[in-house]
A and B are shown apart, each in its own frame.
Chain A
């Protein structure tokens, strides 16, 4: 049995390790919701390094620490044919100071995110058109008591996004420039950690997100990201998010992203600036 398993493992490994048809860093890192991308936004690229007819996959772990709160995320994503990506992420949001201050019944909020991303057309680098992908994310909040008490209307929801990505060779004073822009159709409160829809507003919003990065060489990227967020709950405001990140891609099996994130007001606590660290393994 063990021998069979190890043979199967070897077989899988040899299949997977062949899938490196794309250039370094073009699989992106893993976004907070599990899809390939930057940190707080997805990109149009698909996880891993599989090109046409190849598989790609990644696993990742991310921590965001703001002083008052902590967000931990872990997940996996797999893609095939540089066409379709499936992903899963579990988020755990530690309420830290807020739970102590307010004597909350629970000290963390969690959710599961099941993602699907489809490349519609274009190519990140080569085609006439930029790479454009359509994504769906089905989110299930796992601790709905607190969200329901602050006005959230539902514990699960599905949202969609459209994302376009383009790498411009030499586009930034000779260095490669990566541009991403997206639109999201969502009513998730704080990604969904505070449920979906609210007492103030219970409809989907069209939200803009985007990022710009410069690749100083194939291994290092420096960039900024921005993500618009809805404001559905009356008990507290919800801020748009932004960050400044450094990405390191030593090879096609490892990516590390370190960022300084400005997350604004979260669940009534303001000025939630913090550090973001994400580590991704690709196959």
Chain B
């Protein structure tokens, strides 16, 4: 009699400690494969964007790709942990302007559209990333 109650309590406390993650955005972006395609599409567009490509000249693109995938996955509620530097650290010395930030947003939007991601899902990801602007520009 006692055992099932303990088990139930354990199960309940497990629920309380780890609320089910809302991964609806992660799924709307097409899970891991979808996010990888978005990040790669965005990086390809940046490579062809004369407004901001120069900021990426000395960057290890493979590592940047991996960290962005982690970050987008985590922000979208997916099963990932971002292991990169803080936004402040990774942008220090770049002196990025508001225009640079918007150019990246445009490349991200275009990449998501290319992947067939619905506008509401695009907006949700942008809304998750927009608050980071202050940690990215003017560093």
Contact = CB atoms under 8 A, between A and B. Distances in A.
B55 interface: no
B128 to A, nearest CB: 9
Interface string A5-27: 00000000000000011111000
Interface in B85-103: 97-99, 102-103
From B118, B120, B130, residue with most partner A Cβ within 10 Å: B120
A82 B118 CA distance: 30
A169 B98 contact: no
Contact of A170 (B97, B109, B124, B134): B124
B111 to A, nearest CB: 13
From A51, A173, A216, residue with most partner B Cβ within 10 Å: A51
A176 interface: yes
- Say what secondary structure dominates the interface of chain A: loop
Contact of A52 (B98, B120, B123, B124): B98
A24 B105 CA distance: 11
Contacts of B106: 23-24
A169 B127 contact: yes
Interface string A154-173: 00000000000000011001
B133 interface: yes
A22 B102 contact: yes
B99 A21 contact: yes
A105 interface: no
Contacts of A82: 98
A126 B130 contact: yes
A174 B120 contact: yes
Contacts of B102: 21-23, 51
A184 to B, nearest CB: 29
Given A169-B123, A169-B126, A175-B120, 20 more contacts: A21-B97, A21-B98, A21-B103, A23-B106, A24-B106, A51-B97, A51-B98, A51-B102, A52-B97, A52-B98, A53-B97, A82-B98, A126-B130, A169-B124, A169-B130, A170-B120, A170-B126, A174-B120, A174-B124, A217-B119
14 contacts: A21-B98, A21-B102, A22-B99, A22-B102, A23-B106, A24-B106, A51-B98, A52-B98, A52-B99, A126-B134, A174-B118, A174-B123, A174-B124, A216-B119
